[in-house]
Amino acid sequence: MTTPLLTKSFRTGAAAIAGFLILKYGAGGVAEVASAGTDALIGAAGSLGAPANGMVDVTEVGWSEVRLGGNIAWGDPLTSNNAGKAVKAVPVAGSVVRIIGFARADGAADDIAPYLVAHGVLATPA
């Protein structure tokens, strides 16, 4: 279930990207699969993903969908695990954890779940 209000296309790097994975800004400004919640997250790739050195669509405003990397509950803030899948964002002392938005359904690992796009950070002092 998506309701994209603003979708942007980003150039991809040397690796193909599967649909629904969380992306980050990589070297040279290309979109790559995220590998941590501290990455500069863009959002989730569209359902089609993208080929290497291609273009990938990402919903910047509205509702989108993302592949889950674990159990989440409606309303959880979402960040990336080491495989570009969405997990619940939790504060980490001394770190800034970036989020792509908030879950709009309960779900389990490898489900495709809707989320409300709302970029932000969880900053916790050491």
Confidence of residue 88 (pLDDT cuts 50, 70, 90): very high
Q: What is the model's pLDDT at position 20?
A: 98
Q: Is the dihedral of CA 111, 115, 118, 122 positive or negative?
A: negative
- 7 with 56, same domain? yes
The secondary structure of the chain in percent helix, strand, coil, rounded to multiples of 5, reads 0, 55, 45
- 72 with 87, same domain? yes
Q: What is the model's pLDDT at position 107?
A: 98
- 56 with 26, same domain? yes
Q: How many domains is the chain partitioned into structurally? A: 2
- 69 with 118, same domain? yes
- 54 with 70, same domain? no
- 53 with 95, same domain? no
Each residue of 21-36: pLDDT tens digit?
999 999 899 999 999 9
- 117 with 87, same domain? yes
Check whether 2 has a pLDDT greater than 90. no
Check whether 1 has a pLDDT greater than 90. no
DSSP characters for 67-111?
EBSS-B-TT-EEEE-TTS-EEE----TT-EEEEEEEESS-B-TT-
Average pLDDT over residues 104-115: 98
Domain of residue 23 covers 3-61
- 57 with 70, same domain? no
Q: What is the model's pLDDT at position 126?
A: 77
- 46 with 97, same domain? no
- 57 with 85, same domain? no
**What is the pLDDT of the chain when averaged over all its residues?**
96
Each residue of 43-79: pLDDT tens digit?
999 999 999 999 999 999 999 999 999 999 999 999 9
- 69 with 25, same domain? no
Q: What is the model's pLDDT at position 92?
A: 87
Q: What is the model's pLDDT at position 124?
A: 86
Q: Tokens at residue 79, please? A: 């960040």
- 78 with 107, same domain? yes
pTM assigned to the model: 0.95
Of 20, 14, 84, nearest to 53 by C-alpha is: 14
